[in-house]
Amino acid sequence: MVIQSMTNTDTRDVEATVRQILTLEDAGCQVIRSAVVDEEAAAALEAIVRRIHIPMVADIHFDYRLALKSMESGVQGIRINPGNIGGIRKLRQVVELAQERNIPIRVGVNGGSLEKEILHKHGGPTPEALVESAMGHVSLMEELGYGNLKISIKSSNVPTFLKANRLLAKVCDYPIHLGVTEAGVGQNAVIKSALGIGTLLAEGIGDTIRVSLTGDPLEEVRVARSILDFLELSEKPGPELISCPTCGRTEIDLEHLARSVEKMLEKVDRPIRVAVMGCPVNGPGEAREADLGLAGGKGQGLIFKKGQIVSKVPEEELLSAFARELEEYIRELEQEV
C-alpha cells in the first residue's frame, strides 16, 4: 500500500518544493504529486526529480503540452483528465510519449469534473455517474492502445466515495488510487478520510492512498500512515499508543501523560505497543497486550512491561523513568535483530 501526498509549494520554486518533499519522504510519503500550472513549472520538475528519492507524479489540467514537458523533465507518472486535455489528437501525443517512457497515467475523476451529459443522465454526481465517467476515460485510453493506467474517483461525500469505488473495483482491474477529496480541515477531515479510505482498504479495495487535508501536507502523510498502521497494512509499521479513556478511578493528569508519551513515540520507527493507563489496579491488566506501559496512581505511577510491573516511581519522575525504559526496550529490540 503506497502513501501519496501533494506538495502545496509553487512548483516553480525548486528549493521550497524539494525541501517540502524531503520532509514528506522522512515522514513516510512514498509518491509525491505536484501541480504543473505552466511551462516553467514543468521545466522545474527536472531539477526537483533529480534531488528527491520518491517517484514524482505531474498533475496536469487542460494543457497537453505540460504533460509532454513534464515527462521530458523525467517524472515517473502523470495525472490527467483525458476529457479535458484538448482532444484526441493531443491525447494521442501524450499517450505515445508515456508509452515510449513507460510512464503510468492516472486518470482522475471527481464530482466537479463530470461531463455535462453524464451529469444530466444521472441527475448529479452520483456514484454511477462517477464510474461511468471514469470508465469512459479508460475506454478512450484503451482505444489509443494504452493500458498502463491507475484510476481515481474522488468525492468529498463519504457514502458517494464508498459506493463509487466499490462499483469501480467490480468493473475494472486497474490499480485504484483512493482519496476523499476536499475533506476539509482538522478533526472532521481526518475522520472523513479515515472512514472513506479505511473502509475501502479494509474491504481490499485500493492500491495507493492520499489523505487530503487543508494545510501542511506533512499532516496528510501522518494521517495516512496511521490509517495503514491501524489496519495493519503498513510496509513499515510504526508504534501504537493505547490510552485508557479515564474514569472515576483516575487520580493523575492522564491526558498530559498520554500526550507526552505520544511525543516520545514520534521518533520511534518500530511496531511497539505502548499503553498509558489511568490507575495502578486495572491499568496493567487492561493493557496486557502492550509491550510497555505506565499506569498512574495517586502521586506515583507504575511502569510495566509485557503486563509485568517493573518499577514504581513518584509522579514527577514518571515520564523521565518511562523514557529511559522505552530507550532500553528499543535497544533490546535492536540487539535481537
> Where do contacts with ligand SF4 occur on this chain (CB under 6 A)?
244-247, 249-250, 277-279, 282-283, 286
Residue appearing with cell numbers 486497474: 174
Quote the least distance from Cβ 276 to ligand SF4, whole Å: 9
Taking the CB of residue 84, how many other CB atoms lie within 10 A of it? 14
Quote the least distance from Cβ 279 to ligand SF4, whole Å: 3
Quote the least distance from Cβ 329 to ligand SF4, whole Å: 21
Quote the least distance from Cβ 310 to ligand SF4, whole Å: 18
Quote the least distance from Cβ 323 to ligand SF4, whole Å: 21
Q: Which is nearer to ligand SF4, 54 or 276 (CB)?
A: 276
Q: Which is nearer to ligand SF4, 77 or 301 (CB)?
A: 301
Q: Which is nearer to ligand SF4, 180 or 277 (CB)?
A: 277
Quote the least distance from Cβ 241 to ligand SF4, whole Å: 14
Quote the least distance from Cβ 194 to ligand SF4, whole Å: 24
Q: Which is nearer to ligand SF4, 6 or 244 (CB)?
A: 244
Q: Which is nearer to ligand SF4, 86 or 307 (CB)?
A: 307
Closest-by-Cβ residue to ligand SF4 is 278
Q: Which is nearer to ligand SF4, 61 or 249 (CB)?
A: 249
How much is the CA Rg of the chain, to the nearest whole Å?
24
Q: Which is nearer to ligand SF4, 247 or 337 (CB)?
A: 247
Q: Which is nearer to ligand SF4, 226 or 282 (CB)?
A: 282
Quote the least distance from Cβ 328 to ligand SF4, whole Å: 24
Q: What are phi and psi of 3, to 5 degrees?
A: -95, 125
| Three-state secondary structure of the chain | CEEEEECCCCCCCHHHHHHHHHHHHHHCCCEEEEECCCHHHHHHHHHHHHHCCCCEEEECCCCHHHHHHHHHCCCCEEEECHHHCCCHHHHHHHHHHHHHHCCCEEEEEEHHHCCHHHHHHHCCCCHHHHHHHHHHHHHHHHHCCCCCEEEEEEECCHHHHHHHHHHHHHHCCCCEEECECCCCCHHHHHHHHHHHHHHHHHCCCCCEECCCCCCCHHHHHHHHHHHHHHCCCCCCCCCEEEECCCCCCCCCCHHHHHHHHHHHHCCCCCCCEEEEECCCCCHHHHCCCCCEEEEECCCEEEEEECCEEEEEEEHHHHHHHHHHHHHHHHHHHHHHC
